[in-house]
Amino acid sequence: MTTARVLAYGLLGLPLAFAALPIYVHVPRYYAETAGMELALLGFILLGARLLDAGIDPWLGWLADRVSRRRMVGLALLPFGLGFVALLNPPAEQAGPWLLASLALTYLGFSAATVAYQAWGADVGVDSALRTRLTAAREGFGLLGVVLAAALPTLLAGTLNEGIARLSWILPPLLLIAAATTFSRVGVGRPLAASGERLLPSLRRVVADIAFRRLLLVFVANGIAAALPATLFLFFVADVLQLEKASGPLLAVYFVAGAASLPLWVRLAGRYGRVAAWLAAMLLSILAFAGASQLGSGDLWPFAAICIASGLALGADLALPAAIAADLGERQGQAGACFGVWNFIAKLNLALAAGLALPLLGGLGYVPGSGSGLGALTFAYALLPLAFKALAGVLLWRWRHSLELQS
């Protein structure tokens, strides 16, 4: 496959990730401030919506193995775009029900599009090397979308919250351009094999693969390590570092570093194997993030250095495990079902991070903007993720031989 077609496939990842950053990073603080929602209520709504979203992913993956991947992606983009615009433009009253309804619509479209899009890439890739390139292209464009979403709010308006509201209107044209390019340049790939297998037997076959189960366990530990700081990033920057206006540029620096590192991780994976490259990235992340707990008010440059180093490690987290999952899915002949389970686990990590961390912080006395409970915030943001990252590294090392696949 030519580089142009690989890039055309990856381009659709840009608008999908462009919307994902506000959904998972901006929405908690945005609704807490603009709608005045209490952290406990906000956390429970986010947890409920994300659990419902995660719960339908296995079904969407099973469906993606039985219908056209391209058609499923195209149909899912409409509710995704409409829901995202509604999510970032809440009414003055009844913000709670609005949040739940708009999240449900956005999640439905986003999840259906993402699962089918990932499985489509597994179909187009004919071997492990090409699937790694396609995954890297998808995640690379995704990181560019995240950088745009991180940087634009402060450029679109004088305040972060107003900029987030205006951000919603950027998505529809981005989505149209990217979808038109991807659909016109990328073929169908290998045809789907007709299957009458029902949902539960199909999912049982996915989790019966011991290598896939091991990969999922590593992914869970590593995902929690990433989900906690993602959920708490804006709170930490605003209240511990006292650098709220720098939050957009800091997020952009983090994701630019991740995008820039992708070619390096693809090259290292080709030379030393994807598992060895992923292990190296985990070690880099631990070393980079270890000093975050020592930071305080005004520590812009030390935190920027942490964002750069941990961002470099992010590239491996995005590209390499998903490429291994694509290999396992193709080996089973049901890439859609594998990515349905995969995305279920990814979203479960994010749901637990928001649904448990926010009420816990509220119970420990942390109130956004008040200066109280900052010790609990620092622990949850900077120290707790290190333990999960170390666990992920130990498990990956233990199971390295069963996860390094070639085809």
State in Å, rounded, how far the first CA of the chain is from the last one: 16
The domain ranges of the chain are 3-182+199-403
DSSP letter string, 24-44: IIIHHHHHHHHS---HHHHHH
Closest C-alpha among 50, 59, 51, 53 to residue 337: 59
Is the full-model pTM beyond 0.85?
no
**Long-range contacts formed by 326-329: CB under 8 A, 24+ apart:** 326/118, 326/121, 326/122, 326/125, 326/131, 326/135, 327/128, 327/131, 327/405, 327/407, 328/209, 328/211, 328/212, 328/215, 328/405, 329/119, 329/122
Residuewise pLDDT in 10s, the chain (407 residues): 788 899 999 999 999 999 988 887 788 888 888 877 877 788 788 878 878 888 888 888 888 888 888 899 999 999 999 999 999 998 878 888 899 999 999 999 999 999 899 888 877 877 778 888 898 899 889 988 988 887 888 788 878 788 888 999 999 999 999 999 999 998 776 655 545 567 778 788 888 889 999 999 999 899 888 888 888 888 899 999 999 888 878 988 888 898 899 999 989 998 999 999 999 999 999 988 888 889 999 999 999 999 999 999 999 998 899 888 888 877 777 777 888 888 888 877 777 776 777 778 888 888 887 788 898 899 888 888 899 999 999 999 999 888 876 54
For 3-182+199-403, CATH number?
A: 1.20.1250.20
CA atoms of 258 and 310, how far apart (whole Å): 8
